[in-house]
Structure 1
Amino acid sequence: MGDETTTQKTLEAFFGLTSFRPNQEAIISDILAGRDVLAIMATGGGKSLCYQLPAVKLGGLSVVVSPLIALMKDQVDSLLDQGIEAALLTSGQTYDQRKAVEADIKDGKIRILYVSPERMALPAFQQLLREAGPRLFAIDEAHCISHWGHQFRKDYRSLSLIRDIFPEVPIIALTATATEEVRDDIVRELRLRSPSRYIGSFDRENIRYTVREVPTEKERFRRLVQFISNNHPGSGIVYCRSRKAVEETAENLRERGIPALPYHAGLSANERTRVQNAFLRGEIRVVSATIAFGMGIDKPDVRFVAHYHPPKDIESFYQESGRAGRDGKPSESLLLYSRSDFKIAEKLIKQENSETVDHPARLAKLSQMAVWCSGDTCRRRTLLALFGEKYPATLCGYCDCCDALKRQKRAGKR
């Protein structure tokens, strides 16, 4: 009882919250008991608290592995504002900045340290951690470790060394998106010790799903403009498959009077930051982007996400569409596709490096995406089924397929 009380006090004192979201309290309890944890929680479900609060209570150093510098910086800034000693180590820092952080680690001044998977592989950094004696490791976006995952990163595979170097330190692996095979892969690759598994619901009930086949490029753009206009005055993200498409879509939207800017990896870091900040401040309504945009973007009031071209797999679609409506208010997801889109995607997959890409697995996921797009049964029910979750009803009443069925029933009554 006493430990529960102090956990509640920590929640209120450091995080300004009075209650936990689903699974958070149980996850935190397991970590404090020294158990490994696999946590699958939807975007906006409160993953960060699951390791930040234990880090505060455990004392000493906790290490968070994250794939994006922008995400790490946002987290560190937020923790510092809350009075929690936090820092990050990145290749973008100067030599003096990195040395200052390392000195603070040695002096025990850092409670939560954010690093990239690449840094974890450096022998000098591993030695620094041996001296510091970390109390907890948190692996964010853990699906990146799996070949079955939609964002596989080779450097994540090296994280298995954590178990070799720190066999008794608990590890929590977190992600918003993981099928059953990806979950098993995460546990196997990180060598988690009989981990507690917490699988939250994948149902984002506040998001309406709409999928439209478009016969021409003209019809594709018309549908997009109509969709954005119907969501006035909300802000949103439009995902495109290539940098060229991103640029053209942003320009075409501006010509229609819709404030939009492009975002992709080909832009300078300063330009990407400028676009991201303009979007966060509400200075532009729409960001037209590749998948380089979105992970860790702290904007809860995104009202819509449109996929101008279909993603290569269901996991990507779920993660990207889930960036809408993190505040819980009604939001919209639109996916536009043509048969040629999937032919192009298939060609691109086959051209990828066979040493790092499991072509049959990727092609199977693309086929799964195509089947879902062309389906005529409840989008939500079939989407959740792909993540191993059974929707309690036959129809959700909040997708294009359910709308079509309602129209058919009304027409049959006349």
Structure 2
Amino acid sequence: MRAEDWNRVISGFLSGKGSNKHHKVRRPAHTISERAPSGGFRVQTLSACRGGDTWTDTRDTRTVPIRDQCSMGNLIKVLTRDIDNNGGNFFLDFENAQPSQSETAVWEKVNKVLMEARVILEDLQAYRGAGEEIRQAIQSPGVERVQEKAWSAVVPLVAKLKSFYEFSQKLESSLQCLLDVLTSSGSTPTQHLEQKQALARQFAHIMHFTLRFDELKMTNPAIQNDFSYYRRTISRMRINNLSGDASNEVNNELANRMSLFYACATPMLKTLSDATSKFVSDNPDVPLENTTDCLSTMASVCKVMLETPEYRSRFTSEETVLFCLRVMVGVIILYDHVHPAGAFVKTANIDMKGSIRVLKEQPPSSVEGLLNALRYTTKHLNDETTSKQIRNMLQPN
């Protein structure tokens, strides 16, 4: 379904007008439930108690008003569309979907990576750098005590940076595992999303982690400063035939790869974009639209939730909003890298103007990193086929 058709249907039901003039909309106290006739859409918000960031599995389904303490748990079940032309509808449950027997093997493999993702984000958020020690070492090049202090401060930090880089490779592998299932032949992409909702949920969490990681990295210049100092010091030590702790040393080949990784404005997103493109090229037997339809459907779901006041007003936490924003931006960028014409052309199954508008309606401090991701990590933004209006919308203020 085209993005403009999606919006027309949604706006029709919000105004109480569907294709069936006798249709009535009921709004319970703690849910939003818009049900259309065959081929329509429905969005339902369920209250769920927070269990820590976006990783909770705890749900509160009591019919009471949503309370402020239920923050990230207000994840949305979104009914996307009729999949068999006979009124069969399905939910994309981004929070509570549990794996079926056929999903279990892949789900367990990816879940281990997502559990580690929590630790990675905590470590990155706590990363303070060795700026002061490095500054003193540069100012006092001949004072051995100062040099040793700086080195002792930098080495464990570089070990952290190494673990972040190595985790990006695990995330790449997990993404490709999910794509392999969600785009396989035998079912349409929409049917895959219906029947494998636990894996679709994991896909959304990978997108959320990726954008959150890159937001934190972009606002922490100490990362590149620390690693640059480490490489300079290692080179000097080798020239002078000195040795540090070999167990903590990053070899030259790995250091080069890490430098390229951290030099990117959004390193984790670039990793996944490259992985998605590689998945498509390595699987020529899988129709391209299997992948692009999966991505565009997720983008449309998030956009509708974010731009519709009727639904947005039920969010009791900005974390819920940020989750949807990150997933939306992440899948748009992946789509732009995979689709030959990209996400910015008029024929794309993504409402790019509407998506950018939703981003710009948020507090600038919350979305600047996401806007930068669209500006600098997309592939087709500067193509001639991209409208001037879209380019202007993405111009930095």
Please confirm whether the aligned pair reaches a TM-score higher than 0.5, indicating the same fold: no
Tell me the TM-score range normalised by the shorter chain.
under 0.3
More strand by share: 1
Normalized against structure 2, the TM-score is what?
A: 0.24
**Which protein has the larger Cα radius of gyration, Structure 1 or Structure 2?**
2
By percentage of residues, which structure has more helix? Answer: 2
